[in-house]
Amino acid sequence: MNQQDSECATVNSVPVIYFDEQQSLLETHTTQMGELPSATYMNRQGYTSVISQPMPVTYIGKQQFLPEAYTTQMSQAGVTENRGCLYRVPHRLREVNEKAYEPNVVSIGPYHYRKQHLMAMQVIKESFFWKIAAENNLNIVELKMTMRSLEPRIRKCYEEAPIHLHSDELLEMMLFDSCFIVQLIEGIYPVEDIFQVGRIQTDIRHDLLLLENQLPFFVLFELYRMMVPNAGEDVHHLARSALSFFKISHFPSPKTDIMHLLDLVHSCQHPSHLGIKKHEEFKAKEAAAAAAVVQASTAVVVAAAKPNSQRSWKFIRSATELEGAGISFFGDHIEKMKDQNQGIEVMFDIMFTKDTKVLKIPTLQVNDWTESLFRNYMAYEQFFPRGKPTYFVDYVVFMDNLINTGKDVQLLCKSEVIDNWLGDDEAVAL
């Protein structure tokens, strides 16, 4: 390890400064993030209830989570039929921004089925299915029988929020929706002109990543096997096609089980292997690096000592305050970083360099769909078992502490940490 590397560390422990009510220094104590209770993780936008476990700020040691092995053929191929894997957004999250969880053009699955504003695309999906079936001599009876054989497994996936459609309607919906998705991501048959319009494709990509707009991946895989000649048992070809449709270059390990499209895409948005490796290498130096941040910014976390000994917590100062304390920001463009990391997504590879006091953060493009997609990733993470990393929750809390006002956004845009496509700095701050 060279000298420069040895001076780099991730900010993963928190120097806590205790003050009395007159703001006189009582003591300083370095606390590992994992020691803080979940109640301390609050932000300004209503996410108080979001965080269910402690928040490592930057590189987070990757923990492998695989459901129990299944004996079915598709489980062996990498498709999960986990019970209760298709969820409704918790009310406490939905009430903050309900529109963030609503599909705009297409419903997938039962939760938004036949909503009025989505009926135009519903009609297109159904006509699309019959056209494909007729032009390619698909065996409709066999397709329906396959879907019927999957019904018990499908209903198990919705156990957290049971569906009340009768059998025929449920299976017909699954058939239309899965055919629509497989055709989109595989491009097996000629696509209608409507899907060639750029904005429609963008809207559909967005809708297919909403928590409440998912199908079990084993349903997609079964239909894919029937639609694609010589498809075989390799689910990962379908997964790669799906990631290509979502413009994601990194594909996870072939052993990774897939529950649905959101699960697949989420699994590709983890810290790079290089970032995780450096996190392990520099773990012993994290406290020193965090102490450097606190020395430069006066305080990272402040706990006011009260008569009942309860302590209230704050986090990292805003970007403008940190700049005033001598810390610089540097935005790493993800495309360049992907070249250096063999195409692996590196969105969460955040690093603080002690000597230069530079906080390096991969560039985040903020557009019309950023908030909605982040909220759905975060909502999905609420259902993770204890111990499985919640990367999006951690990242959003980290960025939320950096951004308080439009001035913070201006600074981060100037530093190329944020690529603002919204045009309004205050909108990003909100």
pLDDT category at 96 given cuts 50, 70, 90 is: very high
Q: What is the pLDDT of residues 367-405, one digit of tens each?
A: 999 999 999 999 999 999 888 889 999 999 999 999 998
Residue 137 pLDDT: 87
Gap between the Cα atoms of 43 and 323, Å rounded: 21
Helix axis angle, 235-245 relative to 217-227, nearest 10°? 100
pLDDT tens-digit profile of 321-357? 999 999 999 998 765 544 444 444 567 888 888 899 9
Query: 3-class SS at 301?
Result: strand
Dihedral class, residue 46 (left if φ above 0, else alpha if ψ from -120 to 50, else beta): left
pTM over 0.85: no
Q: Which two tokens stand for residue 363?
A: 């560039």
Measured CA to CA, the distance from residue 190 to residue 329 in angstroms comes to 47
Instruction: Quote the distance between the C-alpha of residue 4 and its chain's center.
Output: 32
Residue from 321, 373, 382 nearest 347 by CA: 373
Given a cut of 70, is residue 149 above it in pLDDT? Answer: yes
Which of 425, 276, 410 has the alpha carbon at shortest distance from 345? 276
Whose CA is closest to 327, among 425, 408, 406? 408
Residue 187 pLDDT: 78
**pLDDT per residue over 405-418, tens digit each?**
899 999 999 999 99
- Determine the pLDDT at residue 114: 93
Q: Which two tokens stand for residue 252?
A: 């996870």
pLDDT band at 105, cuts 50/70/90? very high
Is the per-residue pLDDT at 71 higher than 50? no
The answer on pLDDT for 47 being more than 80 is no
Name the residue type at position 365: Q
